[in-house]
Amino acid sequence: MLDLQGYGPRLLEGAGVTLALAVLSLILALVLGLVTASAKMSHSTVAHRLATLYTTLIRGVPDLVLMMLLFFGGQIGVNALTDSLYDATGIDIFININEFVAGVVTIGLIFGAYMGETFRGAFMAVDNGQIEAGKAYGMTPRLVFWRIRFPQMMRHALPGLSNNWMVLLKTTALVSVIGLADMVRIAAEASKATREPFTFMLVVAALYLMIASVSEWIFARLQKRYSIGYGEDD
Amino acid sequence: MQALLDWLDGLLADNSIFTLQTLSYYGDGLVTTVQLVFLSLIIGLVMAVPLAIGRSSRRGVIKWPIFLYTYVFRGTPLLVQLYLIYYGVVFVEGIQESWLWPIVKEPFVPALVAFTLNTAAYTTEIFRGAIKATPKGEIEAARAYGMSPMLALRRIVIPSAFRRALPAYGNEVIFMLHASAIASVVTLMDLTGAARFIYARFYAPFDAFLFVAAIYLCLTFTVLYFFRFLEKRLMAHLKPLN
């Protein structure tokens, strides 16, 4: 029925690369998002302006252009940096910007901007009285953050996070353009070699739909967990 | 015109990368990108309105195929859809002998088809949400006036859904503008294609890609302000009085 002509294992390998890329970028995006959200809510004008500049620039430029800028330009930039480090201190290091690193950094940077917006809205939705109650208990700001603001923020942020993750997952396909052997690239190669584009592209499409469906299920469980104590319809 | 060109030439005299010739590549790319995005958005919009109405229908025969279409096209990367259409079109039986072939073999048409199908799927879901959010009272009022369901749809539901869909649709337009960059992957010389060409020719990634990023940024802001203006005009009746 479905004849992958021996490309099956490589496609699965590619699916693994896609997943690893997506998860690593997600982690980077979550960290950047939290930093951006804090910067946007902080009282410092400089931090606020920097965060606004970051989100505006990132959201105004296509992901592919950013990715190529980072991949093709990144190595030159990093080399210049390590060269000057060598000249100054004699420490010789070489940082290789390969397709995978460039992909993770670009996708993380792009979705950090989107996550920042999601987190900011979610933090603002946390009831002020809760934070005051925490302070009244004598909690330090750090403890208030981890025990009160963060868990309650997550409940509001989860629908947005789930959306961002779905878009992020599809964005990973772009890394095949700069040469990473993810499932899209392998399917494209297999299509050209076997002259059967429909078979391979449809399999990849099905794999994406499968990953999306599984993540939808995970997010539904998470949503349930973070909504404990808020009633059924929330 | 000649004076203007001379002036530009003089301005760029010390610049080895941005000459009049490379700028013309960017210019042609800009035209291709705008054409591609504009055409796919218009055709996608025209497709999306009936699809959204069908998607809101109570009948399963109409509802489920449309749901499947939007689910697949929203759940898979646009790049995969583009590859499927670009590489797949050659293998459609008899297409190479038909009159369509000279048109279809150019990368512009497969890209246009992929983008149109993709944006139509997203727009359908945006409109469906807007139709679903129609206040019940508006529909009841239309019924009370004796409007037939079709008339109520045309006069009440669709115009009010259009207004509600506007902010989300503005985002979709920007999304399409950015997504159009992948057309360069199938050898189309759009803005990103021009940047890749100039990068490859001069090995100057920063100049080539930062310049094109700036153009995209300007385009994005133009779209953003256009939609803000539209929202202000069309939602004027919903604004608070003061």
Residue-wise pLDDT tens for chain A (234 aa)? 577 777 888 888 999 999 999 999 999 999 999 999 989 888 888 999 999 999 999 989 999 999 999 888 888 888 888 888 888 887 777 777 788 988 999 999 999 999 998 999 999 988 889 889 999 999 998 999 888 888 888 888 998 999 999 999 999 999 999 888 889 999 988 888 888 888 888 999 999 999 999 999 999 998 888 887 776 544
Asked if A164 is an interface residue toward chain B (Cβ–Cβ < 8 A), one would say no
Supply the pTM of this predicted model.
0.87
Are B182 and A198 in contact (CB < 8 Å)? no
**What does the DSSP 8-state code read for residue B22?**
H
| Among the ranges given (B88-97, B104-113, B152-161), the one the predictor scored with the smallest mean pLDDT | B88-97
Contacts of B185 in chain A (CB under 8 A): 177
Whether residue A116 is contained in a domain is answered as yes
Contacts of A60 in chain B (CB under 8 A): 216-217, 220-221
Whether residue A200 is contained in a domain is answered as no
Asked if B134 is an interface residue toward chain A (Cβ–Cβ < 8 A), one would say no
Which amino acid is present at B214? A
Indicate whether B154 pLDDT > 60: yes
Residue of chain A minimizing CA distance to B68 = A209
Q: Please, are residues A207 and B72 in contact by the beta-carbon 8 Å criterion?
A: no
Residue of chain A minimizing CA distance to B82 = A201
Residue of chain B minimizing CA distance to A67 = B209
Contacts of A204 in chain B (CB under 8 A): 76, 80
Whether residue B9 is contained in a domain is answered as no
Q: What pLDDT, on the 0 to 100 scale, is given for residue A1?
A: 57
Whether residue A160 is contained in a domain is answered as yes
What CA–CA distance (Å, rounded) separates A152 from A122? 8
Whether residue A229 is contained in a domain is answered as no
Q: Count how many domains chain A has.
A: 1
DSSP SS3 for B222:
helix
Separation in Å, CA of B107 to nearest CA in chain A: 16
The overall longest dimension of chain A from CA atoms, in Å, is: 69
Whether residue B28 is contained in a domain is answered as yes
> So what's the ipTM on this one?
0.86
- The CATH number of the domain holding residue B206 is 1.10.3720.10
| SS3 per residue for chain A | CCCCCCCHHHHHHHHHHHHHHHHHHHHHHHHHHHHHHHHHHCCCHHHHHHHHHHHHHHHHCCHHHHHHHHHHHHHHHHHHHHHHHHHHHCCCCCCCCCHHHHHHHHHHHHHHHHHHHHHHHHHHCCCHHHHHHHHHCCCCHHHHHHHHHHHHHHHHHHHHHHHHHHHHHHHHHHHHCCCCCCHHHHHHHHHHHHCCHHHHHHHHHHHHHHHHHHHHHHHHHHHHHHCCCCCCCC
Instruction: Using pLDDT thresholds of 50, 70 and 90, give the confidence band for residue B212.
Output: very high
Which amino acid is present at A134? G
Domain hosting residue A49, numbered range = 16-183
Which of A65, A171, A205 is the closest to B213 by Cβ?
A65
Instruction: Using pLDDT thresholds of 50, 70 and 90, give the confidence band for residue B238.
Output: confident
Are A170 and B77 in contact (CB < 8 Å)? yes
Domain hosting residue B162, numbered range = 21-235
Whether residue A70 is contained in a domain is answered as yes
Residue of chain B minimizing CA distance to A179 = B185
Separation in Å, CA of A51 to nearest CA in chain B: 17
Q: Which of residues 87-126 of B touch A (CB under 8 A)?
A: 87-88, 91
Separation in Å, CA of A164 to nearest CA in chain B: 13
Q: What pLDDT, on the 0 to 100 scale, is given for residue A232?
A: 52
What CA–CA distance (Å, rounded) separates B54 from B48? 10
Q: What pLDDT, on the 0 to 100 scale, is given for residue A234?
A: 44
Q: Please, are residues A208 and A184 in contact by the beta-carbon 8 Å criterion?
A: no
Q: Which of residues 22-51 of B touch A (CB under 8 A)?
A: none
Chain CA centroid to CA A86, Å = 33
Q: How many CB atoms lie within 10 A of CB A46?
A: 9
Q: Count how many domains chain B has.
A: 1
Report which secondary-structure segment, H or E, holds B122. helix B108-132
Percent pLDDT > 70 in chain B is 97
Mutate which: B87, B96, B184, vs A, most A CBs within 10 A: B87
Which of B72, B91, B178 is the closest to A62 by Cβ?
B178
- Per-residue pLDDT averaged across B70-97, rounded? 86
Which of A57, A64, A196 is the closest to B192 by Cβ?
A64
Determine the Cα angle at B117 with ends B116 and B119, to 5°: 65
Are A188 and B220 in contact (CB < 8 Å)? no
Whether residue B10 is contained in a domain is answered as no
Which amino acid is present at B202? F
Which of A65, A170, A196 is the closest to B181 by Cβ?
A65
Residues B2-19: tens digit of each pLDDT: 777 777 777 666 667 777
Provide the token pair at A205.
Answer: 């499409």
Indicate whether B111 pLDDT > 50: yes
Indicate whether B102 pLDDT > 80: no
- Per-residue pLDDT averaged across B70-85, rounded? 92
Asked if A24 is an interface residue toward chain B (Cβ–Cβ < 8 A), one would say no
Mutate which: B17, B34, B71, B80, vs A, most A CBs within 10 A: B80
Asked if B72 is an interface residue toward chain A (Cβ–Cβ < 8 A), one would say yes
Asked if B180 is an interface residue toward chain A (Cβ–Cβ < 8 A), one would say yes
Which of B77, B179, B216 is the closest to A208 by Cβ?
B77
Whether residue A213 is contained in a domain is answered as no
What CA–CA distance (Å, rounded) separates A75 from A178? 13
Whether residue A4 is contained in a domain is answered as no
Separation in Å, CA of A150 to nearest CA in chain B: 28
